[in-house]
Amino acid sequence: MEILGTKELMEQVRDKGLCVSCGACVEICPYHKSYKGKIALVFDCDMTPCQCYAYCPQTETDRDLLSRTMFGTMDKGEALGQYRSIIAAKAGSKIKSNRFQNGGTVSALFTHALDSGLIDAAVLTGQNDDLPEPMLIENACDVASCATTKYMATPTLAAVHKAIRDGRKNLGVAGTACQVKALATIKANPLGKAEQENSIGLSLGLFCTWSLDTRKFSAFLAGETGGEKIVSMDVPPPPAETFKIKTENEEREFPLKEIRKMIPRGCACCPDMTAEWADVSVGAYEGKPGWNTLIIRSEKGEQWVEEAIADDYLVRDEFPRSRLEHLTLGADNKRKKAEEFLTKEKK
Ligand SMILES: Cc1cc2nc3c(=O)[nH]c(=O)nc-3n(C[C@H](O)[C@H](O)[C@H](O)COP(=O)(O)OP(=O)(O)OC[C@H]3O[C@@H](n4cnc5c(N)ncnc54)[C@H](O)[C@@H]3O)c2cc1C
């Protein structure tokens, strides 16, 4: 697959409103800048091939390259992506915090990875003035500060590039489907950049149906909460059709149809509900509050989870067949919707 440049990135992605602000094109050159959830080209660039085009999750995907890089095999095209096993999981007794989005599996896995030296540092997404902010975490005790889901597009990959530029190796990264796809491409290193070698140690993908436009949603939050600090937000499972926002003083529910109006256009062409290009993927466990669904995909991911369970960072339970069918159906639906969107887009 041909790797093109910034001009083509603009034509194929940004000018069509398909950018998801993941940050994969930021901090690798002086031209692309991220500011409060939007990414803009500040100077023209006619070079080719370019890293920005190569890593963007919205340009054409070389599925076999990603599959070989992450799993050592050719792509199998399955709805849930490749995996070794799926379990229910939640934070174990070694984790002292209890403020998580669901079961705290993400926080538990990164706490373990830093404590045990599996990774040298982690790039996670925290919060600053109610805006999501990527953070470089070096100490296990700081992982909990990034817990809970910020339903907003975040330039997490910009922080990954910056860390790599600063000479970091063996990073652990948590991100949504688009972000871990970009991460797998960085790991594949299609342009043979010396600094990318061994830069990514472990990747954790978050299930994702959609994210929200950061500017629109933060303006909405400011209007509705009067600037009160947001403690958490959540999309309760169907048939609720609501979006919950908890501030320090109150909990409010909004109709999901109002919130969906703030989904960026780029999310519509994402076929991936379970973040298939990661070492492990984590989502909510519908019907079992306080637990996560954990998909173990790569050999490295399997070792990570096994060690975290053995060292009491993580607790596991069975994931029944009925849940697997439900999860597959959801993933398949997202894929079909994305195909329909792309077919319309090409007409
Ligand atoms: C935009 C978005 C949409 C999601 N949609 C779904 C869904 O449809 N179905 C589902 O089952 N799960 C979804 N998830 C995942 C779910 O909300 C939880 O993150 C997941 O179940 C892990 O729970 P936990 O208790 O282990 O997480 P915690 O231990 O609380 O850790 C959460 C981690 O998420 C990361 N994070 C938070 N916000 C962002 C962000 N904006 N971008 C990147 N990383 C972030 C942080 O680094 C943090 O470490 C979504 C997550 C995001 C970010």
Q: What's the CA-to-centroid distance between 3 and ligand 1, angstroms?
A: 31
Q: For position 318, what pLDDT does the model report?
A: 97
Amino acid at 56: C
The full DSSP string for 37-92 is TEEEE-S----SS-HHHHH-TTS---HHHHHHHHHSS-----TT-S-SEEEEEEE-
Residues 62, 54 contacting (CB under 8 angstroms)? no
Q: Is the CB of 174 under 6 A from ligand 1?
A: yes
Predicted confidence at residue 321, as pLDDT, reads 96
Residue count of the chain, please give it.
Answer: 347
pLDDT tens digit sequence for 217-230: 999 999 998 888 89
Q: Whose CA is nearest to atom 20 of ligand 1?
A: 283
Q: CA torsion, points 92, 329, 182, 261, in degrees to nearest 10?
A: -100
Mutate to test the pocket of ligand 1, among 206, 324, 327 (most ligand atoms within 8 A of CB): 206
How many Å is the maximal CA-CA distance in the chain? 54
In tens, the pLDDT along 50-69 reads: 999 999 999 999 999 999 99
- Give the C-alpha distances (Å, rounded to integers) separating 271 from 57, 155, 209, 297, 332: 11, 20, 9, 18, 8
What does the alpha-carbon distance between residue 112 and residue 93 come to, in Å, rounded to a whole number?
12
Asked if the 214-260 domain carries CATH number 3.10.450, the reply is: yes
Encode pLDDT of 303-328 as tens digits: 999 999 999 999 999 999 999 999 99
pLDDT averaged over consecutive 10-residue blocks of the chain (347 residues)? 95 96 96 93 94 97 97 95 98 95 98 98 92 96 97 96 97 98 97 95 98 95 89 92 94 96 97 98 96 98 98 98 96 97 89
Cα(279)–Cα(69) distance, integer angstroms: 11
Q: Where are the domains of the chain?
A: 86-211+272-346, 214-260
Contact yes or no for 279/262 (Cβ under 8 A): no
Q: pTM, whole model, 2 decimals?
A: 0.97
The answer, yes or no, to whether any atom of ligand 1 lies below 6 A from the CB of 111, is no
